[in-house]
Structure 1
Amino acid sequence: MQLTALAKSRYTTKAYDATRKIPQETIETLLDQLRHSPSSVNSQPWHFIVASDDQGKARVAKGAEGGFVYNESKILNASHVIVLCTRTEMPEAHLQAVLAQEERDGRFANDEAKAGQDKSRRGYVNMHKFDQKDVQHWMEKQTYLALGTLLLGAASLGVDATPMEGFDFKKLDEELGLRDKGFTSLVIVSLGYRSEGDFNAKLPKSRLPAESVFTFL
Protein backbone atom coordinates (compact mmCIF):
# COMPACT_ATOMS: atom_id res chain seq x y z
CA MET A 1 0.00 0.00 0.00
CA GLN A 2 1.30 3.46 -0.85
CA LEU A 3 2.35 5.74 2.02
CA THR A 4 -0.40 8.27 1.28
CA ALA A 5 -3.06 5.57 1.46
CA LEU A 6 -1.63 4.37 4.79
CA ALA A 7 -1.69 7.88 6.20
CA LYS A 8 -5.32 8.26 5.17
CA SER A 9 -6.47 4.88 6.46
CA ARG A 10 -4.67 4.61 9.81
CA TYR A 11 -6.33 6.05 12.89
CA THR A 12 -6.03 5.97 16.68
CA THR A 13 -7.60 2.74 17.90
CA LYS A 14 -9.84 3.14 20.95
CA ALA A 15 -10.63 -0.50 21.76
CA TYR A 16 -8.67 -3.72 21.18
CA ASP A 17 -9.60 -7.35 20.67
CA ALA A 18 -7.81 -8.97 23.62
CA THR A 19 -7.98 -12.41 21.98
CA ARG A 20 -5.78 -11.49 19.02
CA LYS A 21 -1.99 -11.44 19.19
CA ILE A 22 0.42 -9.91 16.71
CA PRO A 23 2.60 -12.62 15.11
CA GLN A 24 6.19 -12.62 16.37
CA GLU A 25 7.57 -12.12 12.87
CA THR A 26 5.43 -8.99 12.47
CA ILE A 27 6.61 -7.58 15.80
CA GLU A 28 10.23 -8.22 14.90
CA THR A 29 9.76 -6.38 11.61
CA LEU A 30 8.10 -3.46 13.37
CA LEU A 31 10.83 -3.21 16.00
CA ASP A 32 13.45 -3.27 13.26
CA GLN A 33 11.68 -0.35 11.58
CA LEU A 34 11.55 1.47 14.91
CA ARG A 35 15.25 0.94 15.57
CA HIS A 36 16.06 2.50 12.20
CA SER A 37 14.10 5.70 12.87
CA PRO A 38 15.83 8.96 11.92
CA SER A 39 17.24 11.36 14.50
CA SER A 40 19.18 14.61 14.41
CA VAL A 41 22.89 13.93 13.84
CA ASN A 42 22.08 10.25 14.44
CA SER A 43 21.88 11.00 18.16
CA GLN A 44 19.37 8.19 18.91
CA PRO A 45 18.56 9.51 22.43
CA TRP A 46 15.92 6.86 23.09
CA HIS A 47 15.10 3.50 24.58
CA PHE A 48 12.04 1.34 23.90
CA ILE A 49 10.39 -0.93 26.46
CA VAL A 50 8.21 -3.68 24.96
CA ALA A 51 5.50 -5.47 26.94
CA SER A 52 3.77 -8.47 25.36
CA ASP A 53 2.37 -10.56 28.22
CA ASP A 54 -0.23 -9.78 30.88
CA GLN A 55 2.36 -9.15 33.57
CA GLY A 56 4.34 -6.69 31.49
CA LYS A 57 1.27 -4.83 30.28
CA ALA A 58 0.00 -4.60 33.86
CA ARG A 59 3.21 -2.86 34.87
CA VAL A 60 2.84 -0.32 32.07
CA ALA A 61 -0.83 0.14 33.00
CA LYS A 62 0.23 1.37 36.44
CA GLY A 63 0.86 4.67 34.71
CA ALA A 64 -2.81 4.79 33.68
CA GLU A 65 -4.26 4.67 37.17
CA GLY A 66 -6.27 7.49 38.72
CA GLY A 67 -6.98 10.34 36.34
CA PHE A 68 -5.73 8.38 33.33
CA VAL A 69 -7.81 5.24 33.87
CA TYR A 70 -9.53 5.80 30.53
CA ASN A 71 -6.35 4.52 28.86
CA GLU A 72 -6.00 1.40 31.02
CA SER A 73 -8.02 -0.95 28.79
CA LYS A 74 -6.11 0.20 25.71
CA ILE A 75 -2.95 -1.02 27.41
CA LEU A 76 -4.26 -4.23 28.98
CA ASN A 77 -6.25 -5.45 25.95
CA ALA A 78 -3.63 -4.66 23.33
CA SER A 79 -1.39 -7.39 21.97
CA HIS A 80 1.82 -5.44 22.63
CA VAL A 81 2.67 -2.14 24.29
CA ILE A 82 5.77 -0.06 23.69
CA VAL A 83 6.94 2.70 26.02
CA LEU A 84 9.04 5.22 24.11
CA CYS A 85 11.60 6.70 26.49
CA THR A 86 13.99 9.62 26.14
CA ARG A 87 17.35 10.17 27.78
CA THR A 88 17.44 12.61 30.68
CA GLU A 89 20.87 13.78 29.53
CA MET A 90 23.32 13.12 26.70
CA PRO A 91 26.20 11.30 28.44
CA GLU A 92 29.69 10.82 27.10
CA ALA A 93 29.25 7.05 27.08
CA HIS A 94 26.30 7.32 24.67
CA LEU A 95 28.16 9.64 22.30
CA GLN A 96 31.08 7.20 22.26
CA ALA A 97 28.76 4.23 21.69
CA VAL A 98 27.04 5.86 18.70
CA LEU A 99 30.37 6.82 17.16
CA ALA A 100 31.78 3.32 17.64
CA GLN A 101 28.70 1.76 16.04
CA GLU A 102 28.98 4.09 13.04
CA GLU A 103 32.58 2.98 12.65
CA ARG A 104 31.63 -0.71 12.83
CA ASP A 105 28.94 -0.08 10.21
CA GLY A 106 31.56 1.34 7.83
CA ARG A 107 30.44 4.96 7.75
CA PHE A 108 33.95 6.46 7.89
CA ALA A 109 36.45 6.38 5.05
CA ASN A 110 39.22 7.52 7.39
CA ASP A 111 39.97 8.94 10.84
CA GLU A 112 39.32 12.46 9.61
CA ALA A 113 35.75 11.58 8.61
CA LYS A 114 35.19 9.95 11.99
CA ALA A 115 36.49 12.99 13.85
CA GLY A 116 34.32 15.27 11.72
CA GLN A 117 31.16 13.33 12.53
CA ASP A 118 31.99 13.31 16.24
CA LYS A 119 32.64 17.06 16.23
CA SER A 120 29.41 17.79 14.35
CA ARG A 121 27.26 15.73 16.72
CA ARG A 122 28.89 17.22 19.81
CA GLY A 123 28.36 20.67 18.34
CA TYR A 124 24.61 20.14 18.19
CA VAL A 125 24.50 18.58 21.66
CA ASN A 126 26.48 21.45 23.16
CA MET A 127 24.37 24.04 21.35
CA HIS A 128 21.20 22.64 22.86
CA LYS A 129 22.81 22.04 26.25
CA PHE A 130 24.59 25.34 26.79
CA ASP A 131 23.29 27.92 24.31
CA GLN A 132 19.62 27.13 23.73
CA LYS A 133 19.38 25.23 27.03
CA ASP A 134 16.73 22.90 25.67
CA VAL A 135 18.63 19.63 25.34
CA GLN A 136 15.83 17.61 26.97
CA HIS A 137 13.24 19.04 24.60
CA TRP A 138 15.59 18.46 21.65
CA MET A 139 16.01 14.80 22.59
CA GLU A 140 12.25 14.40 23.02
CA LYS A 141 11.74 15.70 19.49
CA GLN A 142 13.99 12.94 18.18
CA THR A 143 11.91 10.37 20.04
CA TYR A 144 8.77 11.73 18.40
CA LEU A 145 10.39 11.09 15.03
CA ALA A 146 10.59 7.46 16.16
CA LEU A 147 6.91 7.61 17.12
CA GLY A 148 6.02 8.62 13.57
CA THR A 149 8.04 5.71 12.21
CA LEU A 150 6.27 3.34 14.58
CA LEU A 151 2.75 4.49 13.70
CA LEU A 152 3.23 4.33 9.93
CA GLY A 153 5.21 1.12 10.28
CA ALA A 154 2.35 -0.49 12.17
CA ALA A 155 -0.12 0.62 9.52
CA SER A 156 2.07 -0.84 6.78
CA LEU A 157 1.93 -4.22 8.55
CA GLY A 158 -1.82 -4.17 9.14
CA VAL A 159 -1.43 -3.50 12.87
CA ASP A 160 -3.61 -1.01 14.75
CA ALA A 161 -1.97 1.48 17.11
CA THR A 162 -2.78 3.98 19.84
CA PRO A 163 -0.26 6.65 20.88
CA MET A 164 -0.90 7.94 24.42
CA GLU A 165 0.48 10.85 26.39
CA GLY A 166 -2.31 10.43 28.96
CA PHE A 167 -0.47 8.67 31.76
CA ASP A 168 1.42 9.47 34.96
CA PHE A 169 5.03 9.87 33.79
CA LYS A 170 6.47 9.92 37.29
CA LYS A 171 4.61 6.77 38.35
CA LEU A 172 5.59 4.86 35.20
CA ASP A 173 9.22 5.99 35.47
CA GLU A 174 9.27 4.67 39.02
CA GLU A 175 7.61 1.37 38.12
CA LEU A 176 10.11 0.70 35.34
CA GLY A 177 13.13 2.19 37.12
CA LEU A 178 13.73 4.52 34.23
CA ARG A 179 15.28 7.56 35.88
CA ASP A 180 17.93 5.48 37.61
CA LYS A 181 18.91 4.30 34.11
CA GLY A 182 19.01 7.82 32.66
CA PHE A 183 15.65 7.77 30.88
CA THR A 184 12.12 9.06 31.29
CA SER A 185 8.91 7.85 29.66
CA LEU A 186 7.54 10.04 26.88
CA VAL A 187 4.69 8.24 25.13
CA ILE A 188 3.01 4.83 25.30
CA VAL A 189 1.93 3.07 22.11
CA SER A 190 -0.51 0.16 22.22
CA LEU A 191 -0.43 -2.26 19.30
CA GLY A 192 -2.81 -4.98 18.21
CA TYR A 193 -6.08 -5.39 16.37
CA ARG A 194 -9.23 -3.33 16.85
CA SER A 195 -12.31 -4.81 18.42
CA GLU A 196 -15.76 -4.65 16.87
CA GLY A 197 -16.70 -2.14 19.57
CA ASP A 198 -14.10 0.42 18.48
CA PHE A 199 -16.26 3.45 17.71
CA ASN A 200 -13.38 5.38 16.15
CA ALA A 201 -13.02 2.81 13.38
CA LYS A 202 -16.43 3.81 12.03
CA LEU A 203 -15.81 7.56 12.00
CA PRO A 204 -14.50 9.41 8.94
CA LYS A 205 -11.00 10.84 9.17
CA SER A 206 -10.86 14.60 9.64
CA ARG A 207 -8.03 16.96 8.73
CA LEU A 208 -7.90 20.66 7.92
CA PRO A 209 -8.07 21.41 4.16
CA ALA A 210 -4.85 21.66 2.16
CA GLU A 211 -5.26 25.37 1.49
CA SER A 212 -5.15 26.10 5.22
CA VAL A 213 -2.02 24.10 6.01
CA PHE A 214 0.20 24.72 2.98
CA THR A 215 1.83 27.93 1.83
CA PHE A 216 3.62 27.78 -1.51
CA LEU A 217 6.42 30.27 -2.13
Structure 2
Amino acid sequence: MAETHEILKALNWRYATKQFDTSKKLSDGQVSFLKETLRLSASSFGFQPWKFLFITDSELRKRLRTKAFNQTQVEEASHLIVLCRQEKLTSADVDKLISATSSATGAPEDSLAGFKNVLSGFVSGLSQEKAEVWCEKQVYIALGSLLTAAARAGIDACPMEGFERPGFDEVLGLEKKGLRSVVLCTVGIRSEGDKYATRAKVRYPLADVVETI
Protein backbone atom coordinates (compact mmCIF):
# COMPACT_ATOMS: atom_id res chain seq x y z
CA MET A 1 0.00 0.00 0.00
CA ALA A 2 2.90 2.35 0.69
CA GLU A 3 4.08 2.11 -2.93
CA THR A 4 0.61 2.77 -4.38
CA HIS A 5 0.36 5.82 -2.13
CA GLU A 6 3.71 7.09 -3.40
CA ILE A 7 2.65 6.65 -7.03
CA LEU A 8 -0.56 8.62 -6.48
CA LYS A 9 1.40 11.26 -4.59
CA ALA A 10 3.78 11.57 -7.56
CA LEU A 11 0.91 11.86 -10.05
CA ASN A 12 -0.61 14.63 -7.96
CA TRP A 13 2.80 16.34 -7.81
CA ARG A 14 3.43 16.32 -11.56
CA TYR A 15 2.14 18.91 -13.99
CA ALA A 16 2.97 20.02 -17.52
CA THR A 17 6.06 22.05 -16.67
CA LYS A 18 6.16 25.28 -18.64
CA GLN A 19 9.34 26.79 -17.22
CA PHE A 20 12.48 24.79 -16.47
CA ASP A 21 15.48 25.74 -14.35
CA THR A 22 18.20 26.19 -16.96
CA SER A 23 20.93 25.91 -14.32
CA LYS A 24 19.96 22.33 -13.44
CA LYS A 25 20.51 19.31 -15.66
CA LEU A 26 19.39 15.75 -15.17
CA SER A 27 22.12 13.36 -14.07
CA ASP A 28 23.35 10.59 -16.34
CA GLY A 29 21.57 8.15 -14.05
CA GLN A 30 18.26 9.98 -14.37
CA VAL A 31 18.55 10.10 -18.16
CA SER A 32 19.40 6.40 -18.30
CA PHE A 33 16.35 5.70 -16.15
CA LEU A 34 14.07 7.56 -18.57
CA LYS A 35 15.59 5.77 -21.56
CA GLU A 36 15.05 2.39 -19.92
CA THR A 37 11.49 3.35 -19.04
CA LEU A 38 10.80 3.98 -22.71
CA ARG A 39 12.53 0.77 -23.77
CA LEU A 40 10.37 -1.27 -21.40
CA SER A 41 7.10 0.33 -22.47
CA ALA A 42 4.23 -1.87 -23.57
CA SER A 43 3.18 -2.09 -27.22
CA SER A 44 0.59 -4.13 -29.08
CA PHE A 45 2.00 -7.55 -30.03
CA GLY A 46 5.32 -6.24 -28.69
CA PHE A 47 6.12 -4.64 -32.07
CA GLN A 48 7.76 -1.53 -30.54
CA PRO A 49 7.37 0.52 -33.77
CA TRP A 50 9.18 3.54 -32.43
CA LYS A 51 12.38 5.46 -31.86
CA PHE A 52 13.02 7.95 -29.07
CA LEU A 53 15.45 10.78 -29.76
CA PHE A 54 17.07 12.55 -26.80
CA ILE A 55 18.14 15.95 -28.11
CA THR A 56 20.86 17.75 -26.14
CA ASP A 57 22.68 19.74 -28.84
CA SER A 58 21.96 23.41 -28.07
CA GLU A 59 22.14 24.67 -31.65
CA LEU A 60 19.84 21.92 -32.87
CA ARG A 61 17.34 22.66 -30.12
CA LYS A 62 17.42 26.34 -31.03
CA ARG A 63 16.43 25.42 -34.59
CA LEU A 64 13.73 23.06 -33.37
CA ARG A 65 12.27 25.76 -31.13
CA THR A 66 11.37 27.75 -34.24
CA LYS A 67 9.35 24.73 -35.39
CA ALA A 68 7.53 24.54 -32.05
CA PHE A 69 5.89 27.97 -31.96
CA ASN A 70 8.85 29.35 -29.98
CA GLN A 71 7.92 27.43 -26.83
CA THR A 72 10.76 27.90 -24.37
CA GLN A 73 10.72 24.36 -22.98
CA VAL A 74 12.15 23.01 -26.23
CA GLU A 75 15.38 24.90 -25.66
CA GLU A 76 15.50 25.38 -21.89
CA ALA A 77 14.61 21.96 -20.46
CA SER A 78 17.46 19.64 -19.53
CA HIS A 79 16.52 17.29 -22.37
CA LEU A 80 14.15 17.33 -25.31
CA ILE A 81 12.72 13.93 -26.23
CA VAL A 82 11.20 13.46 -29.68
CA LEU A 83 9.01 10.37 -29.72
CA CYS A 84 8.84 8.98 -33.25
CA ARG A 85 6.96 6.25 -35.04
CA GLN A 86 8.10 4.05 -37.86
CA GLU A 87 6.99 5.25 -41.27
CA LYS A 88 5.96 1.74 -42.31
CA LEU A 89 5.17 -1.63 -40.77
CA THR A 90 6.37 -4.52 -42.92
CA SER A 91 7.23 -8.21 -42.94
CA ALA A 92 10.75 -7.22 -41.89
CA ASP A 93 9.28 -6.04 -38.58
CA VAL A 94 7.60 -9.41 -38.16
CA ASP A 95 10.90 -11.21 -38.74
CA LYS A 96 12.69 -8.89 -36.31
CA LEU A 97 10.15 -9.54 -33.55
CA ILE A 98 10.19 -13.29 -34.08
CA SER A 99 13.99 -13.30 -33.91
CA ALA A 100 13.97 -11.18 -30.73
CA THR A 101 11.31 -13.39 -29.16
CA SER A 102 13.36 -16.49 -29.91
CA SER A 103 16.49 -14.94 -28.42
CA ALA A 104 14.72 -13.72 -25.28
CA THR A 105 12.74 -16.88 -24.55
CA GLY A 106 15.02 -19.55 -25.94
CA ALA A 107 12.21 -20.88 -28.12
CA PRO A 108 13.27 -22.06 -31.60
CA GLU A 109 11.96 -19.78 -34.32
CA ASP A 110 10.11 -22.62 -36.03
CA SER A 111 8.11 -23.16 -32.83
CA LEU A 112 6.85 -19.58 -33.16
CA ALA A 113 5.27 -20.19 -36.56
CA GLY A 114 1.74 -19.71 -35.23
CA PHE A 115 2.64 -16.38 -33.63
CA LYS A 116 4.40 -15.32 -36.82
CA ASN A 117 1.31 -16.10 -38.87
CA VAL A 118 -0.80 -13.93 -36.57
CA LEU A 119 1.67 -11.06 -36.86
CA SER A 120 1.93 -11.41 -40.63
CA GLY A 121 -1.83 -11.43 -41.00
CA PHE A 122 -2.14 -8.30 -38.89
CA VAL A 123 0.52 -6.39 -40.81
CA SER A 124 -0.73 -7.41 -44.25
CA GLY A 125 -4.25 -6.37 -43.30
CA LEU A 126 -3.27 -2.77 -42.56
CA SER A 127 -3.41 -0.05 -45.16
CA GLN A 128 -0.56 2.47 -45.00
CA GLU A 129 -2.90 5.01 -43.41
CA LYS A 130 -4.11 2.57 -40.76
CA ALA A 131 -0.55 1.44 -40.05
CA GLU A 132 0.49 5.04 -39.39
CA VAL A 133 -2.40 5.58 -36.98
CA TRP A 134 -1.68 2.28 -35.22
CA CYS A 135 2.01 3.11 -34.80
CA GLU A 136 1.15 6.52 -33.37
CA LYS A 137 -1.09 4.89 -30.78
CA GLN A 138 1.84 2.76 -29.65
CA VAL A 139 3.99 5.86 -29.22
CA TYR A 140 1.38 7.39 -26.92
CA ILE A 141 1.48 4.28 -24.74
CA ALA A 142 5.20 4.90 -24.34
CA LEU A 143 4.57 8.56 -23.53
CA GLY A 144 2.22 7.53 -20.72
CA SER A 145 4.88 5.23 -19.28
CA LEU A 146 7.45 8.01 -19.51
CA LEU A 147 5.30 10.60 -17.73
CA THR A 148 4.37 8.25 -14.90
CA ALA A 149 7.91 7.03 -14.35
CA ALA A 150 9.31 10.56 -14.48
CA ALA A 151 6.83 11.72 -11.86
CA ARG A 152 7.68 8.80 -9.57
CA ALA A 153 11.37 9.68 -9.90
CA GLY A 154 10.79 13.37 -9.17
CA ILE A 155 11.63 14.46 -12.71
CA ASP A 156 9.55 17.22 -14.25
CA ALA A 157 8.13 16.75 -17.73
CA CYS A 158 5.93 18.43 -20.29
CA PRO A 159 4.26 16.48 -23.13
CA MET A 160 3.91 18.65 -26.22
CA GLU A 161 1.89 18.31 -29.41
CA GLY A 162 2.29 21.95 -30.36
CA PHE A 163 4.97 21.68 -33.02
CA GLU A 164 5.29 21.42 -36.79
CA ARG A 165 5.83 17.76 -37.54
CA PRO A 166 7.15 18.27 -41.09
CA GLY A 167 9.56 20.89 -39.77
CA PHE A 168 10.91 18.59 -37.06
CA ASP A 169 11.14 15.70 -39.52
CA GLU A 170 13.18 17.84 -41.90
CA VAL A 171 15.55 19.28 -39.30
CA LEU A 172 16.18 15.85 -37.77
CA GLY A 173 16.42 14.05 -41.10
CA LEU A 174 13.77 11.55 -40.04
CA GLU A 175 12.50 10.61 -43.50
CA LYS A 176 15.78 8.98 -44.49
CA LYS A 177 15.62 7.01 -41.23
CA GLY A 178 12.12 5.76 -41.99
CA LEU A 179 10.68 7.71 -39.05
CA ARG A 180 8.09 10.41 -38.37
CA SER A 181 7.79 12.61 -35.28
CA VAL A 182 4.64 12.12 -33.20
CA VAL A 183 4.91 13.97 -29.90
CA LEU A 184 7.52 15.76 -27.80
CA CYS A 185 8.35 15.56 -24.13
CA THR A 186 10.67 17.99 -22.39
CA VAL A 187 12.21 16.82 -19.12
CA GLY A 188 14.25 18.46 -16.40
CA ILE A 189 13.78 20.38 -13.16
CA ARG A 190 11.02 22.95 -12.74
CA SER A 191 11.88 26.59 -12.22
CA GLU A 192 10.82 28.17 -8.95
CA GLY A 193 9.28 30.90 -11.07
CA ASP A 194 6.89 28.61 -12.95
CA LYS A 195 3.47 29.87 -11.89
CA TYR A 196 1.81 26.65 -13.02
CA ALA A 197 3.65 24.61 -10.38
CA THR A 198 1.39 25.82 -7.58
CA ARG A 199 -1.90 25.85 -9.45
CA ALA A 200 -4.58 23.44 -8.29
CA LYS A 201 -4.78 20.25 -10.35
CA VAL A 202 -8.03 20.15 -12.31
CA ARG A 203 -9.39 16.63 -12.62
CA TYR A 204 -13.01 15.49 -12.86
CA PRO A 205 -14.46 13.39 -10.00
CA LEU A 206 -13.78 9.66 -10.14
CA ALA A 207 -17.46 8.93 -10.71
CA ASP A 208 -17.41 11.06 -13.85
CA VAL A 209 -14.53 9.24 -15.53
CA VAL A 210 -14.67 5.66 -14.21
CA GLU A 211 -17.63 3.31 -14.24
CA THR A 212 -17.73 -0.24 -12.93
CA ILE A 213 -20.12 -2.42 -14.92
Whether TM-score is above 0.5 comes out as: yes
The question of 1:118 aligning with 2:116 is answered yes
Question: 2:41–2:141: 8 Å Cα contact kept in structure 1?
Answer: yes
1:3: how far off? 2.3
CA distance in 2, matches of 1:215, 1:128: 32
**Counterpart of 1:82?**
81
Residue of structure 2 in register with 1:52 after alignment: 56
Matches within 5 A, 1:142-153: 142-153=138-149
| Correspondence for 2:163 | 167
User: Which residue number in structure 2 is paired with residue 201 of structure 1?
Assistant: 197
CA distance in 2 between counterparts of 1:199 and 1:127 reads 49
Shift of 1:79: 0.4
- CA shift, 1:197, in A, is 1.4
How big is the shift at 1:126?
2.8
Deviation (angstroms), 1:4: 2.2
How far the C-alpha of 1:120 sits from its partner, in A, is: 2.0
* Residue-by-residue CA offset, 1:143-184 (whole Å, 9 max, x unaligned): 000000111111121110011000010011001111222111
User: How far is the alpha carbon of 1:92 from its aligned partner?
Assistant: 2.8
Deviation at 1:107, TM superposition (A): 5.6
Q: Does 1:4 align with 2:8?
A: yes
SS at match of 1:188: strand
> Would you say the 8 A contact 1:128–1:138 is kept in 2?
no
Alpha-carbon deviation of 1:94? 2.6
Q: In structure 2, what residue type is equivalent to 1:175?
A: V
User: Could you tell me which residue of structure 2 aligns to residue 157 of structure 1?
Assistant: 153
Deviation at 1:125, TM superposition (A): 2.2
Does residue 25 in structure 1 map to residue 29 in structure 2? yes
SS at match of 2:124: helix
How far apart in 2 are the matches of 1:189 and 1:107?
A: 36
Which residue identity lines up with residue 113 of structure 2 in the other structure? A
Q: Does 1:136 align with 2:132?
A: yes
**2: CA distance, partners of 1:212 / 1:189:** 28
Superposed CA deviations along residues 119-155 of structure 1, whole A, max 9, x for unmatched, are: 222232233338xx61111110000000001111111
RMSD: 1.7
Is the Cα–Cα contact under 8 Å of residues 43 and 121 in structure 1 kept in the other structure? no
Q: Counterparts of 1:146 and 1:107 in 2: how far apart (Å)?
A: 26
Matched pairs, number = 209
Pairwise mapping of residues 167-186 of structure 1 onto structure 2 (< 5 A)? 167-186=163-182
Taking the aligned partners of 1:8 and 1:123, their CA distance within structure 2 comes to 42
Sequence identity (%)? 34
Pairing 1:35–2:39 present: yes
Equivalents in 2 of 1:44, 1:29: separation in Å? 18
Asked if the contact 1:14/1:74 (under 8 Å) is kept, the reply is yes
User: Cα 1:107–1:199, aligned 2, differ >3 Å: closer, same or farther?
Assistant: farther
